[in-house]
Chains A and B, each alone.
Chain A
Amino acid sequence: MRDYIWLIPLLPLISSITLMIAAPRLTHKIITLLGVGSVGMAAVATCALAIEFVGNPNPIEIVLWTWIHVADLAPRIAFYVDGLTLVMMSVITGVGFLIHLFSSEFMEHDASYARYFAYLNMFVAAMLVLVLADNLLLLYLGWEGVGVCSYLLVGFWYQNSANGHAARKAFIVTRIGDTAMAVGLLLLFTELGTLDIQSMISSANSEWEIGDNLPTIACLLLLAGAAGKSAQLPLHTWLPDAMAGPTPVSALIHAATMVTAGVYLIARTHGLFLLSPSAMTAVAVLGLATSLMAAFTALVQTDIKRILAYSTISQIGYMFLALGVGAWTAGIFHLMTHAFFKALLFLGSGAIIHCLHHEHNIFKMGGLRRRMPVTFWSFMIGSAALAALPMTSGFFSKDQILLQAYQLASIGPWLWLGGLLGALLTAVYSFRLVFIVFFGAVNTEPDREIGWRMAVPLTLLCTLSLVGGYFSLPLTNVFPTVDAGHPAHWVEVISVAVPLLGVLLAYGLFLGRQLKLQPWMEGQIGQAIRQFWFSGWGVDQLYNSLLVQPYSILAGMLKGEPIDRLYNAIVRLNQTLHQWLSVTQTGRMRWYIASMVFGLIFTLGIAFNVAPGAI
């Protein structure tokens, strides 16, 4: 398998191109076979690669060809596979395959079935290039590729202009981060003379000291790129709107894979980040702030997909926190478990939306426990894992992050406390969702139960969400080993207890109703806070009044082309004069003669007056 790694991204790419070109001539069955099958084959190939890798865990490097050769710049199309890449590839192809299978039922009756799979396959190919790339330029190619696919899929139902708007927003906001990242790449190239990740990091380590300015700047630029792609503050606003796309797309791109690309980037360049403690702190603080902000927002949302979107932002914040405190393995571990349970939750919500006539409002659902048992259990397990209840996969990864955060010197305990608050909120909002949607009175009757192509991915992801915590990732050779001593016993006990407390709280608030929030909520302050959280802390409005509106006003002013107006006036003057003169072109000979005569008399008159002696 080692020599055929290039097959893995190539398979979905070929399928995507075939679907784009030949879609009208293909039957529904062949489209499904191509779209789902190609990703399935890639998953099988990844599996074979993984088995081989476990036997011989040395990094694999294969060079296909030199991409460009200009002076010192000679990026190659080359793939680099180590434990980290392998984890990412398994998530992308494995979870990706399940979501493709789910989509084949979810999108069955859509008119643009082939277009959907063409985009989705292209996304998988681009994402694989991103994680396989051995230099930052090729990584950037994949990075932009997934951005384009995300844009295309968010705006998949483009007939509704709101979706097109959301797609543009996603594209433009991530582009801000991408630009910062491109600047970072250029800086790294000019300073270190190479974009090849491994040699770049080794030369950075020999040229720069820990705490130098240059690595800090480079790392902060990379962080900006990662924040854009991974929807972290202050570039997170696109992700909730990106829910305009089909739900399986939200599951694959905006929960499981693409949004974790930023986490992957930082983990991949961890050698650089280790040179800059301040950048590491920035990553941790940014992650924690995003995580808390998004958790508070998720608490009051009413759209099922927006709750999950904010929860995704919050969980990626956790991953950033993990990276920032140097818990690399825990961060990647959380990335993987999050991919399992968040894909599960999104697919579950997709199943609900599919069966409930595209209803998104959770308060119009309710009592679905007996109507949709498969979905109920998958949501139960997914939420338990999201809330990090003991024995689920989320518990293992989140626990590791919190414990390692606690052990960090100086700000560690504060980060730990923030993380605990986030964990509490996570438990509350995830079980609020479960209690409101699946318990209580039935508000909308589902008109069908899901078929096997939806049930199988849900069941498999349920299993993964439960047992994912017992996987041991082949990351020991990739990251520097952290001396994970055991903190005091009470720290661990609290970490376990907090999510349980959150579930109890959610039960009291939303199901048993022992805790009364009503008087608080109705008060003026309660309403204001609720509105503030609901709008995502007003960030959208802030950007709107700070950036979008001034830009629109400026554009409105420039639309009239104030400078061109001068030149246009000259043109218009000439046109007017021309019209006046063309009136005199009557074709009547006598007029011409008369005007000639009067002209002559006029000229002679002037000549006599001005220079009488000349004539």
Chain B
Amino acid sequence: MQELAVPLNHVLLVSSLLFCIGMLGLMIRRNIIFILMSLEVMLNASALAFIAAGAHWGQPDGQIMFMLILSVAAAEVAVGLGLVLQVQRRFKSLDMDDANRMRG
């Protein structure tokens, strides 16, 4: 089994940093495109963690999970962009808060 060139801890650190960046973006951005992008960042951060873990224990499961996440992300982007188009058409804006129709 081939050893990992980078220690596992470092990879996990990068992955959690990426995850936090994505999460922060999710929480503070108002533009829907950026929100979707932050979401991608978070998905990829977790995918990175899977890959690293799979390599560390020499198991194929990590890569399988990566493929799954990739396809989920692709599907999500397809649906998400479709929604973004609709939001843009209806509200003439990409601001998340403009699309709020609740009165509570």
Contact = CB atoms under 8 A, between A and B. Distances in A.
A488 B23 CA distance: 122
Interface stretch (B9-17, B44-52, B72-80, B94-102): B94-102
Nearest to A583: B104
Contacts of B6: none
B26 A593 contact: yes
B5 interface: no
A588 B100 CA distance: 7
Given A590-B96, A597-B23, A585 B104 contact: yes
A587 B27 contact: no
A588 B102 CA distance: 9
Contacts of B1: none
Q: Name, among A583, A585, A597, the residue most crowded by chain B CB atoms within 10 Å (CB to CB).
A: A597
Contact of A586 (B23, B28, B35, B102): B102
A593 B28 CA distance: 10
Interface in A584-602: 585-590, 593-594, 597
A590 B27 contact: yes
A597 B102 contact: no
Interface of A: 582-583, 585-590, 593-594, 597
Contacts of B96: 588-590
B104 A586 contact: yes
A588 B30 CA distance: 10
Interface string B1-44: 00000000000000000000001001110100001000000000
Interface in B54-104: 96-97, 100-102, 104
A467 to B, nearest CB: 90
A593 B96 CA distance: 13
A176 to B, nearest CB: 59
Contacts of A588: 96-97, 100
A593 B23 CA distance: 9
Nearest to B38: A593
A337 B27 CA distance: 102
Given A586-B104, A587-B102, A594-B27, 6 more contacts: A582-B104, A585-B102, A586-B100, A587-B100, A588-B96, A588-B97
A590 B104 contact: no
Contacts of B100: 586-588
B45 to A, nearest CB: 14
B83 to A, nearest CB: 12
A432 to B, nearest CB: 80
Nearest to B103: A587
Contact of A597 (B27, B35, B104): B27
| Chain B interface size, under 10 / 10 to 19 / 20 to 34 / 35 or more | 10 to 19
A600 to B, nearest CB: 10
Contacts of A590: 26-28, 30, 96
Contacts of A586: 100, 102, 104
A594 B30 CA distance: 13
A587 B28 contact: no
Contacts of A593: 23, 26-27
16 contacts: A582-B104, A585-B102, A585-B104, A586-B100, A586-B104, A587-B101, A587-B102, A588-B96, A588-B97, A588-B100, A589-B96, A590-B27, A590-B96, A593-B26, A594-B27, A597-B23
Contacts of A585: 102, 104
Nearest to A589: B96
A583 B30 CA distance: 21
A270 to B, nearest CB: 81
A302 to B, nearest CB: 71
Contacts of B97: 588
Nearest to B104: A585
Q: Name, among A582, A586, A589, the residue most crowded by chain B CB atoms within 10 Å (CB to CB).
A: A589
Contacts of A597: 23, 27
A594 B27 CA distance: 6
B30 to A, nearest CB: 8
Nearest to A587: B102
Contacts of B104: 582-583, 585-587
Contacts of B26: 590, 593
Contacts of B28: 590
A602 to B, nearest CB: 15
Contacts of B35: 589
Task: List the 6 closest A-B pairs by CB distance, nearest first.
Answer: A587-B102, A587-B100, A585-B104, A594-B27, A593-B27, A593-B26
A585 B104 CA distance: 6
A583 B101 CA distance: 15
A164 to B, nearest CB: 50
A593 B39 CA distance: 12
A582 B23 CA distance: 25
A589 B25 CA distance: 12
B16 to A, nearest CB: 13
Nearest to B20: A597
Contacts of B101: 587
A593 B27 CA distance: 6
A597 B27 CA distance: 9
A594 B28 CA distance: 9
A589 B36 CA distance: 13
A283 to B, nearest CB: 77
B2 to A, nearest CB: 29
A587 B98 CA distance: 11
B46 to A, nearest CB: 14
A582 B26 CA distance: 23
Nearest to B29: A590
A48 to B, nearest CB: 84
Q: Name, among B27, B28, B102, the residue most crowded by chain A CB atoms within 10 Å (CB to CB).
A: B27
